[in-house]
Amino acid sequence: MKVMDSAFARGFAKMADDGWQLRFHERNGGNLSYRIPAEEIEAVREDLNLTGDFLPIGTEVPGLAGEFFMVTGSGKYFSNVLAAPEENCCIIEVDEKGERYRVVWGLTKGGRPTSELPTHLMNHEVKKQASGGRSRVIYHCHPVNVIALSCVLPLTDRDFTLALWQNMTECPVVYGEGVGVVPWMVCGGRDIALATVEKIKSYNVVVWAQHGIFCAGADFDETFGLAHTVEKSAEIYVKVASMTAGETRRQVITRENFIELKNSEEFKGLYINPEFLK
Protein backbone atom coordinates (compact mmCIF):
# COMPACT_ATOMS: atom_id res chain seq x y z
CA MET A 1 0.00 0.00 0.00
CA LYS A 2 1.13 3.55 -0.76
CA VAL A 3 1.51 5.78 2.28
CA MET A 4 -1.15 8.22 1.12
CA ASP A 5 -3.63 5.40 0.62
CA SER A 6 -3.46 4.62 4.34
CA ALA A 7 -6.04 5.84 6.84
CA PHE A 8 -3.38 7.26 9.18
CA ALA A 9 -1.75 9.43 6.49
CA ARG A 10 -5.10 10.75 5.29
CA GLY A 11 -6.08 11.49 8.90
CA PHE A 12 -2.77 13.27 9.48
CA ALA A 13 -3.29 15.50 6.42
CA LYS A 14 -6.90 16.24 7.38
CA MET A 15 -5.93 17.29 10.90
CA ALA A 16 -3.27 19.62 9.53
CA ASP A 17 -5.86 21.19 7.24
CA ASP A 18 -8.41 21.45 10.06
CA GLY A 19 -5.88 23.49 12.04
CA TRP A 20 -5.21 25.70 9.03
CA GLN A 21 -8.93 26.27 8.46
CA LEU A 22 -9.37 27.39 12.09
CA ARG A 23 -6.46 29.85 11.75
CA PHE A 24 -4.27 27.98 14.24
CA HIS A 25 -1.29 28.16 11.85
CA GLU A 26 0.07 31.34 10.34
CA ARG A 27 2.78 30.96 7.67
CA ASN A 28 4.87 27.90 8.74
CA GLY A 29 3.74 28.02 12.38
CA GLY A 30 3.03 24.84 14.31
CA ASN A 31 3.90 21.16 13.94
CA LEU A 32 2.28 17.75 14.20
CA SER A 33 3.57 14.23 14.84
CA TYR A 34 2.01 10.77 14.98
CA ARG A 35 3.57 7.63 16.48
CA ILE A 36 2.66 4.97 13.94
CA PRO A 37 1.57 1.51 15.15
CA ALA A 38 3.61 -1.44 13.88
CA GLU A 39 0.71 -2.86 11.85
CA GLU A 40 0.20 0.45 10.04
CA ILE A 41 3.90 0.61 9.16
CA GLU A 42 3.81 -2.96 7.86
CA ALA A 43 0.92 -2.04 5.57
CA VAL A 44 2.96 0.71 3.85
CA ARG A 45 6.46 -0.77 4.17
CA GLU A 46 6.77 -1.28 0.40
CA ASP A 47 6.50 2.50 -0.03
CA LEU A 48 9.32 3.29 2.44
CA ASN A 49 13.02 3.81 1.75
CA LEU A 50 14.86 2.05 4.57
CA THR A 51 18.37 2.58 3.19
CA GLY A 52 19.09 6.19 4.13
CA ASP A 53 21.59 7.47 6.66
CA PHE A 54 20.64 8.12 10.27
CA LEU A 55 21.09 11.64 11.68
CA PRO A 56 21.30 12.81 15.32
CA ILE A 57 17.96 13.67 16.91
CA GLY A 58 19.59 16.10 19.31
CA THR A 59 18.36 14.21 22.35
CA GLU A 60 18.00 10.63 23.55
CA VAL A 61 14.65 8.83 23.55
CA PRO A 62 15.40 5.16 24.26
CA GLY A 63 11.73 4.52 24.97
CA LEU A 64 11.02 5.18 21.28
CA ALA A 65 13.77 2.98 19.83
CA GLY A 66 12.71 1.42 16.53
CA GLU A 67 9.49 3.45 16.32
CA PHE A 68 8.19 5.26 13.22
CA PHE A 69 6.58 8.72 13.20
CA MET A 70 4.79 10.85 10.65
CA VAL A 71 5.77 14.48 11.16
CA THR A 72 5.41 17.84 9.47
CA GLY A 73 8.49 19.37 7.86
CA SER A 74 10.54 22.29 9.08
CA GLY A 75 9.49 25.52 7.39
CA LYS A 76 6.51 23.83 5.74
CA TYR A 77 3.07 25.41 5.71
CA PHE A 78 0.03 23.63 7.16
CA SER A 79 -1.99 25.23 4.35
CA ASN A 80 -0.15 23.00 1.85
CA VAL A 81 -0.27 19.67 3.67
CA LEU A 82 -3.61 18.38 2.37
CA ALA A 83 -2.78 19.25 -1.25
CA ALA A 84 0.79 17.91 -1.21
CA PRO A 85 1.50 15.81 1.90
CA GLU A 86 4.52 14.06 0.36
CA GLU A 87 6.23 17.45 -0.08
CA ASN A 88 5.40 18.89 3.34
CA CYS A 89 5.52 15.88 5.66
CA CYS A 90 7.67 12.84 6.21
CA ILE A 91 7.86 9.52 7.98
CA ILE A 92 10.94 9.00 10.13
CA GLU A 93 12.41 5.92 11.75
CA VAL A 94 14.16 6.13 15.14
CA ASP A 95 17.26 3.93 15.50
CA GLU A 96 17.70 1.04 17.94
CA LYS A 97 19.15 3.31 20.64
CA GLY A 98 16.75 6.21 20.35
CA GLU A 99 19.55 8.63 19.47
CA ARG A 100 19.21 9.06 15.70
CA TYR A 101 16.52 9.15 13.01
CA ARG A 102 16.26 8.83 9.25
CA VAL A 103 13.60 9.98 6.79
CA VAL A 104 12.02 6.98 5.09
CA TRP A 105 9.22 8.74 3.19
CA GLY A 106 8.24 12.24 2.11
CA LEU A 107 9.88 15.66 1.85
CA THR A 108 10.18 14.97 -1.85
CA LYS A 109 11.35 18.51 -2.59
CA GLY A 110 13.91 18.50 0.21
CA GLY A 111 13.96 19.65 3.79
CA ARG A 112 13.99 18.06 7.20
CA PRO A 113 11.49 17.22 9.95
CA THR A 114 10.13 19.99 12.14
CA SER A 115 12.72 21.91 14.14
CA GLU A 116 10.67 20.93 17.21
CA LEU A 117 11.42 17.22 16.58
CA PRO A 118 13.41 16.76 19.84
CA THR A 119 10.54 18.32 21.81
CA HIS A 120 7.98 16.12 20.08
CA LEU A 121 9.93 12.91 20.62
CA MET A 122 10.79 13.66 24.26
CA ASN A 123 7.13 14.27 24.98
CA HIS A 124 6.02 11.24 22.98
CA GLU A 125 8.32 9.13 25.14
CA VAL A 126 6.76 10.46 28.35
CA LYS A 127 3.17 10.14 27.14
CA LYS A 128 3.75 6.65 25.73
CA GLN A 129 4.85 5.45 29.15
CA ALA A 130 2.23 7.38 31.12
CA SER A 131 -0.66 6.22 28.91
CA GLY A 132 0.38 2.60 28.56
CA GLY A 133 1.02 3.20 24.86
CA ARG A 134 -2.37 4.80 24.20
CA SER A 135 -1.05 8.30 23.43
CA ARG A 136 0.12 8.66 19.80
CA VAL A 137 -0.37 12.28 18.67
CA ILE A 138 1.52 15.43 19.62
CA TYR A 139 0.20 18.71 18.22
CA HIS A 140 1.61 22.23 18.52
CA CYS A 141 -0.43 25.17 17.25
CA HIS A 142 -0.81 28.93 17.67
CA PRO A 143 -4.46 29.67 18.63
CA VAL A 144 -5.04 33.41 18.91
CA ASN A 145 -7.10 33.60 22.09
CA VAL A 146 -4.92 31.27 24.16
CA ILE A 147 -1.90 33.37 23.22
CA ALA A 148 -3.82 36.54 24.15
CA LEU A 149 -4.61 35.11 27.58
CA SER A 150 -0.93 34.33 28.13
CA CYS A 151 -0.31 38.07 27.86
CA VAL A 152 -2.68 38.96 30.72
CA LEU A 153 -3.16 35.97 33.04
CA PRO A 154 -0.68 34.94 35.73
CA LEU A 155 1.43 32.19 34.18
CA THR A 156 0.49 29.46 36.65
CA ASP A 157 -1.23 26.14 36.02
CA ARG A 158 -3.97 27.02 38.51
CA ASP A 159 -4.76 30.50 37.15
CA PHE A 160 -4.87 29.34 33.56
CA THR A 161 -6.87 26.21 34.29
CA LEU A 162 -9.55 28.00 36.29
CA ALA A 163 -9.80 30.83 33.76
CA LEU A 164 -10.57 28.24 31.06
CA TRP A 165 -12.71 25.86 33.14
CA GLN A 166 -15.02 28.57 34.46
CA ASN A 167 -16.34 29.55 31.01
CA MET A 168 -17.73 26.32 29.66
CA THR A 169 -18.88 23.03 31.20
CA GLU A 170 -17.17 20.98 28.48
CA CYS A 171 -13.74 22.12 29.71
CA PRO A 172 -13.44 20.14 32.97
CA VAL A 173 -15.12 17.24 31.16
CA VAL A 174 -12.60 17.23 28.28
CA TYR A 175 -9.46 18.10 30.26
CA GLY A 176 -10.21 17.47 33.89
CA GLU A 177 -6.51 17.31 34.74
CA GLY A 178 -6.21 21.00 33.81
CA VAL A 179 -3.51 22.69 31.74
CA GLY A 180 0.16 23.28 32.40
CA VAL A 181 1.91 26.56 31.65
CA VAL A 182 5.48 27.21 30.52
CA PRO A 183 6.68 30.84 30.60
CA TRP A 184 8.19 32.34 27.47
CA MET A 185 11.26 30.43 26.33
CA VAL A 186 13.22 30.19 23.09
CA CYS A 187 11.41 27.65 20.92
CA GLY A 188 13.08 24.67 19.30
CA GLY A 189 15.68 24.18 22.03
CA ARG A 190 16.32 21.64 24.74
CA ASP A 191 15.26 23.94 27.60
CA ILE A 192 11.68 24.35 26.40
CA ALA A 193 11.55 20.63 25.58
CA LEU A 194 12.52 19.73 29.16
CA ALA A 195 10.10 22.26 30.64
CA THR A 196 7.28 20.84 28.53
CA VAL A 197 8.18 17.27 29.48
CA GLU A 198 7.78 18.15 33.15
CA LYS A 199 4.33 19.61 32.54
CA ILE A 200 3.08 16.94 30.17
CA LYS A 201 3.66 14.31 32.83
CA SER A 202 0.58 15.74 34.56
CA TYR A 203 -1.38 17.36 31.71
CA ASN A 204 -2.38 16.72 28.10
CA VAL A 205 -2.29 20.45 27.30
CA VAL A 206 0.68 22.73 27.89
CA VAL A 207 0.44 26.46 27.20
CA TRP A 208 3.59 28.08 25.84
CA ALA A 209 3.31 31.74 26.88
CA GLN A 210 3.18 34.19 23.97
CA HIS A 211 3.51 31.23 21.61
CA GLY A 212 0.72 28.65 21.59
CA ILE A 213 -0.23 25.26 22.98
CA PHE A 214 1.24 21.75 22.95
CA CYS A 215 -1.28 18.90 23.12
CA ALA A 216 -1.14 15.11 23.39
CA GLY A 217 -3.80 12.52 22.66
CA ALA A 218 -4.59 9.01 21.52
CA ASP A 219 -5.65 9.89 17.97
CA PHE A 220 -6.19 12.82 15.63
CA ASP A 221 -9.80 13.51 16.63
CA GLU A 222 -9.08 13.43 20.36
CA THR A 223 -6.01 15.65 20.12
CA PHE A 224 -7.47 18.21 17.75
CA GLY A 225 -10.69 18.28 19.77
CA LEU A 226 -8.66 19.00 22.88
CA ALA A 227 -6.88 21.96 21.27
CA HIS A 228 -10.15 23.24 19.84
CA THR A 229 -11.93 23.06 23.22
CA VAL A 230 -9.13 24.97 24.97
CA GLU A 231 -9.13 27.69 22.32
CA LYS A 232 -12.93 28.01 22.35
CA SER A 233 -12.94 28.61 26.09
CA ALA A 234 -10.14 31.16 25.71
CA GLU A 235 -12.22 32.94 23.07
CA ILE A 236 -15.20 33.07 25.45
CA TYR A 237 -12.95 34.52 28.16
CA VAL A 238 -11.65 37.22 25.81
CA LYS A 239 -15.18 38.17 24.72
CA VAL A 240 -16.50 38.31 28.28
CA ALA A 241 -13.52 40.44 29.34
CA SER A 242 -14.23 42.86 26.49
CA MET A 243 -17.91 43.10 27.50
CA THR A 244 -17.22 43.71 31.18
CA ALA A 245 -14.46 46.26 30.61
CA GLY A 246 -12.38 44.90 33.46
CA GLU A 247 -15.24 44.60 35.97
CA THR A 248 -15.68 41.47 38.07
CA ARG A 249 -17.30 38.76 36.00
CA ARG A 250 -20.85 38.12 37.16
CA GLN A 251 -21.46 34.46 36.21
CA VAL A 252 -18.88 31.70 36.11
CA ILE A 253 -18.85 27.99 36.89
CA THR A 254 -17.93 27.87 40.58
CA ARG A 255 -15.92 25.45 42.70
CA GLU A 256 -19.20 24.09 44.04
CA ASN A 257 -20.45 23.59 40.48
CA PHE A 258 -17.32 21.61 39.59
CA ILE A 259 -17.85 19.34 42.58
CA GLU A 260 -21.52 18.92 41.65
CA LEU A 261 -20.49 17.99 38.10
CA LYS A 262 -17.94 15.47 39.33
CA ASN A 263 -20.45 13.84 41.68
CA SER A 264 -23.37 13.79 39.26
CA GLU A 265 -24.86 10.55 37.95
CA GLU A 266 -24.37 11.77 34.38
CA PHE A 267 -20.59 12.18 34.84
CA LYS A 268 -19.95 9.49 37.42
CA GLY A 269 -16.23 8.76 37.62
CA LEU A 270 -15.21 12.04 35.94
CA TYR A 271 -11.75 13.17 37.06
CA ILE A 272 -11.38 16.82 37.96
CA ASN A 273 -8.00 17.75 39.40
CA PRO A 274 -8.58 18.22 43.14
CA GLU A 275 -5.68 20.69 43.33
CA PHE A 276 -7.80 23.20 41.47
CA LEU A 277 -10.89 22.67 43.62
CA LYS A 278 -9.29 23.89 46.84
What are the residues whose beta carbons fall under 8 Å from the beta carbon of 123, sequence distance 6 or more? Answer: 138, 193, 196, 197, 200, 214, 216
Quickly count: other Cβ atoms within 10 Å of residue 251's Cβ.
Answer: 8
116 catalytic? Reply is: yes
pTM: predicted TM-score of the whole model, two decimal places = 0.93
For residue 278, the model assigns a pLDDT of 82
**Per-run averaged pLDDT (10 residues), the chain, 278 residues:** 96 97 93 97 96 94 98 96 96 97 96 93 95 95 97 96 93 95 86 91 96 96 97 94 72 88 86 89
For residue 248, the model assigns a pLDDT of 60
Q: How far apart are the first and last CA of the chain?
A: 53
Distance CA 223, CA 12 (A): 11
Q: Which of 40, 67, 93, 116 is catalytic?
A: 116
Distance CA 93, CA 38 (A): 12
Going 83 to 68 to 124 to 94, the CA torsion angle's sign is: negative
Spell out where the chain has E strands: 31-36, 55-56, 68-72, 89-94, 100-106, 137-141, 180-182, 205-208, 212-217
Give bridge partners of residue 137 from the DSSP assignment: 34, 217
Going 152 to 149 to 270 to 250, the CA torsion angle's sign is: positive
